[in-house]
Structure 1
Amino acid sequence: MNDVAVLVVDDDFMVARVNRGLVERVAGFTVVGEAHTGANALAAADRLRPDLVLLDVYLPDMSGLEVLRRLRERPGPAVDVLAVTAARDVGTIRAAMRGGVVHYLIKPFSPEALWERLDRYRQLDQRLSTSPEIGQAEVDRMFGGGRGGPLPKGLTEQTRDLVAKALGDCGGDLSATECGELVGLSRVSARRYLEHLVDSGSALVRLRYGATGRPERRYRPAAPQASPTARQPRAEKPTG
């Protein structure tokens, strides 16, 4: 399958260069051009025919929302748009959603945040290109409504999936420290992800009582056959 062709649009030359570098670090994506005004963005989209546009809202000659509207009205192959902007007012966000952006990323953001959105877009694009139809569960995962639940601030889906995989592959249970060592996180960060998995029903936690000190929290995957309506206990009491 061909790489996703990306057009980077930002009024700041340095920001555009940084975003270009971030995109080019993701396998399956190729930046085909940059634009720094709305008019140049529209001309580049007509000339380069990108699959995806990283679009800033604040442009010197017109709003990125106007660029989005014109992209939607132009003839020819459709183009997807990922808004990457400092605009955080509700009206702009709502207008972008109604314009059909695939995601809305507010500056400043971490490289991981952009990579996560690109990875999700790539998975969605591949799945829709290879299958005539898909089920509701997969649609939910693609649109971020899967079993992991909404993520608390500061957590990313990519790292959550790594933590969930480590938990599933361990063959038993893990402490936050052990999980962090496997995934490359601090104990505190690993525990935040593990507690999120517990809250969303994807993991269970029990307390292991030692001879002295505080009990240790041990995490394991939730049973696959567990009913989503049957709430599991947050902690299992020790036996004996």
Structure 2
Amino acid sequence: MINVLILDDDPMVAHFNELYLKEIEGFNLMAVAHSYEEAIAKLETVTIDLILLDIYMAGKSGLELLKKIREKDKWSVDVILITAASDVESIQTALRHGAVDYIIKPFDFERFQQALLRYKDKQQIIEGQGHLNQKALDEQLFGITDQIKNELPKGLSSSTLTIILEVIDSIGETSFSTEEVAEKSEISRVSVRKYLKFMAEIGVLGEKMTYGPVGRPTHLYVYKKEKKKSLSKFL
């Protein structure tokens, strides 16, 4: 099990992260902290493998904690940033101090899950090997393959992608939800979500979240029509 510390000064956001974490096998929430000082105290008393770290906090920031961790040899801990800080300086500082991933708020469960599972996979590879050759290192840790294939991810088809793209074209520049595309295309929401996620990953769709008065946030997409040509090789 991977022991996790969640650090966010907003109790509601910390709670959302905790709920998301519970949905992913292989992770154990050891502690929740709401300040730099509280996080240091947890690190001194609890064995932590991974910190889900916010930057903006009252008092010392998450980046200051990250720098402190790297100065202390006794803390062998990895860090994934989960923050509203989207400026290049913050991102560069986090990466230079060894952050293994950087998630910008607002985010959805799929992106959170992707970061955690990717981290878990890399940890399992590292722990299960005494040595790695260059090919194994490239493929297993860095995702580098010998050839870049112009193929859709497994389970997606060009014919369905075409249908979904036609619906998105008809919607235009207005933001839309998975449910709206599913209704117009008469394709299941589960299937549509996979195609929209793929299109977002290659930059054809932008993503944003809207928050209602109650309940979970709504995940919306925005069509970047100028990027449509990126899909031509898949159709």
Q: TM-score, normalised by structure 1?
A: 0.64
Deviations 1:158-188 (CA, angstroms, capped at 9, x unpaired): xx9xx73336xxxxx873279x97993129x
- Please give the alpha-carbon distance, in whole angstroms, between the structure 1 residues aligned to 2:15 and 2:83: 15
DSSP 3-state at the match of 1:18 = helix
> Is the deviation greater in 46-55 or in 118-127?
46-55
- Please give the alpha-carbon distance, in whole angstroms, between the structure 2 residues aligned to 1:145 and 1:92: 27
Report matched runs for 1:143-154 at 5 Å: 143-146=142-145
Report matched runs for 1:117-156 at 5 Å: 117-141=115-139, 142-146=141-145
Query: What is the Cα-based RMSD across aligned positions, in Å?
Result: 3.5
Structure 1 residues 130, 176: CA separation in 2 closer, same or farther (over 3 Å shift)? same
Larger gyration radius, structure 1 or structure 2? 1
Q: TM-score, normalised by structure 2?
A: 0.66
Give the drift of 1:143: 3.2
User: How many aligned residue pairs are there?
Assistant: 181
Deviations 1:55-112 (CA, angstroms, capped at 9, x unpaired): 0001111011110011112242410000110001111111101110001111000011
- Please give the alpha-carbon distance, in whole angstroms, between the structure 1 residues aligned to 2:68 and 2:38: 13
Contact residue 3 and residue 30 of structure 2 kept, 8 A: yes
- Please give the alpha-carbon distance, in whole angstroms, between the structure 2 residues aligned to 1:124 and 1:9: 23
Extract unaligned runs of 5+ from structure 2. 165-186, 203-231
- Please give the alpha-carbon distance, in whole angstroms, between the structure 1 residues aligned to 2:67 and 2:7: 15
Decide which structure has greater helix share.
Answer: 2
2:153 corresponds to: 164
1:185 corresponds to: 191
DSSP 3-state at the match of 1:131 = coil
Contact residue 69 and residue 75 of structure 2 kept, 8 A: no
1:116 matches 2:114: yes
Give the drift of 1:53: 0.2
Structure 1 residues 135, 193: CA separation in 2 closer, same or farther (over 3 Å shift)? farther
Give the drift of 1:43: 1.0
